[in-house]
Structure 1
């Protein structure tokens, strides 16, 4: 799977900017009653900072399983923004968008960010690397407010003890039929494309995290969309969110 930024989409950039302004307004509103004299301010420890990560859902979608539609419905029902592969790639590759995102972070955010970011530092993790920028972007977004993330291994980037990690899947035959119906190609072409995408995603996960794409221990919840309707899957997810304490 290519690891380079996509072309700039003005509509997507505008939507991202509006979301970040909304987060900033919400942040100011939340913190106003808690303002106190400078001398009384205490420095938070990394453990305390980690508690301030916003609630999130990551959804790993096997191509053709219907997870994207499910994630969109979930985000709409929760009232949370949704960040898919296209948006995350755009944000990771667009310097202006990333600069605006970083400006929205205060000192407490940056302290948490630096502490969490250290876990990804290794020999291949270069400053100009796409994965470096993707990781920065996902971690920054996690500080802004509740969100739904689709793909891009967000479940492996965000703090393991936070949020809800979902894997959506279906049988190979079901996914091939769904892919063919969505794209207008024949079943043979669909099977080839599904297998190519599966292989590219597996390569990305193995290369960047040294994990196998089929490792189910990454996830809190597995949903077979060949066996459950979208409505049923939503109810299952909301029950899990309540158990995880992600709903107010």
Structure 2
């Protein structure tokens, strides 16, 4: 997939240049989605984005923004200064095209996710629920049994059930390891999320989306942030 990194960066920059209190400015909802493989996370995110009119920022897009060097330095500098502390040093390593250190990458990742918070959108993975902890976002964890998740993966990727189970285990371990290594947070800790849903017994992902929309209303997102729409 070709990613217009500079286009995304510029869109985020424009978003944070506008104060949330400015007249006529719409503060769109923010949802973070943490998901096990085979729980329908991508499909649920897509359906939710359509209902709310939001952009989706998956791990590939976030990584591309954080790591690729062919972006405009002035735009990045403006963006960085508006949402991050002066002590962060990731910018210079990123724009020079050199390999960034772990610390540089974490700082870049945090900055990008904070920018998305100002713009609104759905953040899939990459520890978004940790970065935006304590803010007015809905932090969702999608999980399921190994059997049910493996059946979905086997059907989608044309694998045997045993192969799909092994793949689910491997991917889930990688995702948990990433969050632990980056933020020292355990992915399966339920206290890190506002809502955890086991998708095993939902016949349609639209049902999960309805739960998320209703939860946002009950938690007051429609009052704190505008832009929510209903079917």
TM-score range for the pair, normalised by the shorter chain length: 0.7 to 0.9
- Structure 2 residue 4 is matched with structure 1 residue 13: yes
- Structure 2 residue 42 is matched with structure 1 residue 68: yes
**Quick one: structure 1 residues 230 and 116, their matched pair in 2 at CA, closer, same or farther if it must change by over 3 Å?**
farther
Q: CA RMSD in A?
A: 3.3
- Structure 2 residue 111 is matched with structure 1 residue 140: no
- In the alignment, the residues of structure 1 paired with residue 159 and residue 36 of structure 2 have an alpha-carbon distance, to the nearest angstrom, of 18
- In the alignment, the residues of structure 1 paired with residue 211 and residue 8 of structure 2 have an alpha-carbon distance, to the nearest angstrom, of 31
- In the alignment, the residues of structure 1 paired with residue 218 and residue 183 of structure 2 have an alpha-carbon distance, to the nearest angstrom, of 28
- Three-state SS of the structure 2 residue aligned to 1:58 is strand
- In the alignment, the residues of structure 2 paired with residue 159 and residue 236 of structure 1 have an alpha-carbon distance, to the nearest angstrom, of 21
Match of 1:114 in 2: 85
- Structure 2 residue 220 is matched with structure 1 residue 245: yes
Matches for 1:1-248 after TM superposition, within 5 Å? 11-13=2-4, 17=7, 20-21=10-11, 24=14, 55-97=29-71, 99=73, 102=76, 105=79, 109-110=82-83, 113-114=84-85, 129-143=104-118, 145-228=119-202, 229-247=204-222, 248=226
- In the alignment, the residues of structure 2 paired with residue 81 and residue 54 of structure 1 have an alpha-carbon distance, to the nearest angstrom, of 10
- Three-state SS of the structure 1 residue aligned to 2:186 is coil
Question: Unmatched 5+ residue regions in structure 2?
Answer: 89-99, 227-231
- In the alignment, the residues of structure 1 paired with residue 116 and residue 75 of structure 2 have an alpha-carbon distance, to the nearest angstrom, of 8
Using structure 1 for the length normalisation, give the TM-score: 0.72
> Which structure would you say has the larger Rg?
1
Residue-pair matches, total: 210
Given that 2:12 and 2:79 are in contact with CA atoms closer than 8 Å, whether structure 1 keeps it comes out as: no
- In the alignment, the residues of structure 2 paired with residue 95 and residue 174 of structure 1 have an alpha-carbon distance, to the nearest angstrom, of 40
Question: Unmatched 5+ residue regions in structure 1?
Answer: 1-8, 35-51, 118-124
**Quick one: structure 1 residues 58 and 180, their matched pair in 2 at CA, closer, same or farther if it must change by over 3 Å?**
same
- Three-state SS of the structure 1 residue aligned to 2:221 is coil
- CA deviation profile, 1:180-219 (whole Å, cap 9, x unmatched): 1111121121111111111111211222222222101110
Q: Which runs of 4+ in 1 moved over 3 A?
A: 18-23, 25-34, 52-55, 96-101, 103-107, 125-129
Using structure 2 for the length normalisation, give the TM-score: 0.76
- In the alignment, the residues of structure 1 paired with residue 46 and residue 69 of structure 2 have an alpha-carbon distance, to the nearest angstrom, of 27
